[in-house]
Structure 1
């Protein structure tokens, strides 16, 4: 009997150890991969040549800009950041392939600014198995930080929360009665719809009609004809860039003036400046001001000039989000100290309280059980080809 008890106790101890290591896998790997005496490897899988390339190119440029600034100043506690970027073309199989290279060949310490909801959903399980944090993806999907996991980090309000705020605002402040949804038939698009649907239900109204499309679609005549027949007076858009231009452009060609509101994924300067005023009047939800050269915020003006000098192009909002994300990573690495480990880095990130970016965005706070920086969000609208803020925070 005593021998049996010993075996049972041993099994229980092993099980407990397995639970601890699965919760903090980096502990099982010493420092964690991607950390040497001279460098820290950070990897990004993003769209450099697909339908969301306008996001991916500027996003990775901005992160590189921040890391180059750090390296030029001597690095972090003697280590330089080696930043590796792989093109996913906004396709899940390519994202998995890109992440596999970053994780297993480049040995990235962390993944940063991975583009796309379905791409991150496909990549995160492999990262977690290796104890590699998935930091601040270029997606505001709630499933990228829910349920809680110590290796899943996000910054801004989720698409779901954004759309709940949008529907609430338009129904209460603008008197909208026939809310509809036009969204990509993807994980991203479905979250947009779910946010709108749940807020409508909370206000005892229904989404009167829906229509879906593929991310690559350019003709929205059939979908908008369907929504117009339902007498929609507000269309919630689960769109990114091309479809954020295509949908309102098609409505205007049909002679239909209807309010449309998109998520942060719609917030791009290519959208606001679409030829012929195609997107004039379009609304979007965001947490940061647009990066214009004549911004009233001097920090934004100066940053835009630095970005343009480095890349010979003006930045878009994705670049701003990403510069902030990279700055948060730098802060965490610095706070982790000279004896850097993945576990130490995570604890350092947890210590970031009341972070304020240079763009006037909302305050972000993290913690032991908090991997999501802020829920603050506000609304902007295209006026005369520019994004103009039209509300205070709707969170």
Structure 2
């Protein structure tokens, strides 16, 4: 009898473990983007925890399994394969970085695994449509174009673009170029630098000599902080602008005394505007979790989690990769809180919202 009871208990535990909906994430929890990765993940977990507290998906809790790829595309692919083949995840989620997402794309096709809400706005993930990638944010090209238009509108004439020499940087420059074309201007300079070992020793003197008025900095937070410090140390007062990959409180910390006045593009509504339903919901959950405030990066993770959960719900029964793919491809005008997300087999863009913020003297994003 004792053996029977033990067997039943073990069987029950196994069934309970099997009932969990495993979601996989590979991202740079250490390295250049660690601050932003932590915040986007915190935002997603807030929503998953709320869903689990209400019984999960058809009684099955969601478990997010996160692996650190140290912001290395090769390691990102290795992590993704482990999550797919060993953890048997239903989906991948919040993968951080353009080359990193590209590195795992072949695995998505090989194992028919959906990737929801990659934390990158690369156009290559939008067009042509990848049948396994579902974006939940605007493109970097849209952000960069918006930034250049804004700088021109406020009278900036000598605008330089400094970008990391990888697929992320190259992609965002296309948007910046479109912005310059739209306002009938040319960039004062376009300079690139190595992602692993950025060197500003030759670039900064050029910026100072040209007396550039603004610099659109396309890079990770740690690199933007390093480059901005080099510019300031050389006496350049140029307006610094960067993209939403740096819309995290951790980026402000990295910038230190140089944070004030930096413009950062955003892809979700103002995180302190409770008039926005998604912001109000996130803010209430954040307070319950003990967070001081909701950052833009947290909003990105939160919104991505909402879309993933809705796809799992619509899949019905026990979620599978195929059910989730089908459900997401039929997600039309789903309201995540004042913003509608739609997908089809010919469009996986999700949202196209782009705005600007500025870092205030209090170390907060302002709009």
TM-score bracket for the superposition, by shorter chain length: 0.7 to 0.9
User: Where does residue 230 of structure 1 map in the other structure?
Assistant: 210
Partner in structure 1 of residue 265 of structure 2: 285
CA distance in 2, matches of 1:218, 1:304: 37
2: CA distance, partners of 1:40 / 1:298: 27
Q: Who is 1:118 aligned against?
A: 99
The 1:223–1:42 alpha-carbon spacing in structure 2 relative to 1, beyond 3 Å, is same
The alignment status of 1:386 with 2:349, answered yes or no, reads: no
Q: Is the 8 A contact 1:44 1:60 kept in 2?
A: no
Q: Is the 8 A contact 1:364 1:374 kept in 2?
A: yes
TM-score by length of 2: 0.85
Q: CA deviation at 1:243?
A: 2.3
In structure 2, distance between residues paired with 1:107 and 1:212: 39
Rounded to whole Å, the distance in 1 between the matches of 2:206 and 2:244 is 25
- Structure 1 residues 266 and 82: CA distance shift in structure 2, 3 A: closer
CA contact (8 A) 2:114 2:324 kept: no
Q: After TM superposition, give the deviation of residue 254 of structure 1 in Å.
A: 2.4
- Which residue is 2:162 aligned to? 182
Match of 1:249 in 2: 229
| Superposition deviation, residue 43 in structure 1 | 0.5
Confirm whether residue 102 of structure 1 aligns to residue 83 of structure 2: yes
- CA 1:51/1:283 → structure 2, altered by over 3 Å: closer, same or farther? same
Q: Distance in 2 between the 1:269 and 1:188 partners?
A: 21
2:242 to 253, 262, 269: 262
Structure 2 match to 1:3: none
The separation in 2 between residues aligned to 1:72 and 1:95, in whole angstroms, is 31
Number of aligned residue pairs:
350
In structure 2, distance between residues paired with 1:264 and 1:379? 9
How far does the alpha carbon of each residue in 1:65-94 deviate from its partner, in whole angstroms, 9 at most, with x for none? 322322232221233223211111101121
Q: Report the Cα offset of residue 221 of structure 1.
A: 4.7
Q: Which has the higher contact order (CA 8 A, sep 6+)?
A: 2
For 1:352, the equivalent position in structure 2 comes to 331
Between the aligned partners of 2:150 and 2:275, the Cα distance in structure 1 is 26
* Closer, same or farther: CA 217–383 of 1 in aligned 2, 3 Å: farther
TM-score between the two structures when normalised by the length of structure 1: 0.79
Partner Cα distance (1:276, 1:134) in 2:
34
Change beyond 3 A, Cα 1:267–1:231 = same
Q: Which residues of structure 2 form unaligned runs of 5+?
A: 1-16
Instruction: Find the aligned partners of 1:250 and 1:276 in 2 and give their Cα distance.
Output: 13
Match for residue 143 of structure 1? 124
Q: For the Cα contact (< 8 Å) 1:62–1:323, is it kept in 2?
A: yes
Shift of 1:334: 0.9
Unaligned runs of 5+ in 1: 1-35, 390-395
Q: SS at 1:75's partner residue? A: coil
Deviation for aligned residue 1:59: 2.2
CA distance in 1, matches of 2:277, 2:253: 23
Residue 356 to residue 241, structure 1, CA distance change in 2 (3 Å): farther
Partner of 2:5: none
Cα distance in structure 1, aligned partners of 2:248 and 2:105: 26
1:40 aligns with 2:21: yes
1:371 alignment partner, SS class: strand
Segment drifting more, 221-230 vs 338-347 = 338-347
Runs of 4+ in 1 over 6 A off after TM superposition: 294-299
| Structure 1 match to 2:349 | 372
CA distance in 1 between counterparts of 2:277 and 2:106 reads: 41
**Residue pair 1:180, 1:209 contacting (<8 A) in 2 also:** yes
Q: CA deviation at 1:205?
A: 3.0
* Match in the other structure for 1:343: 322
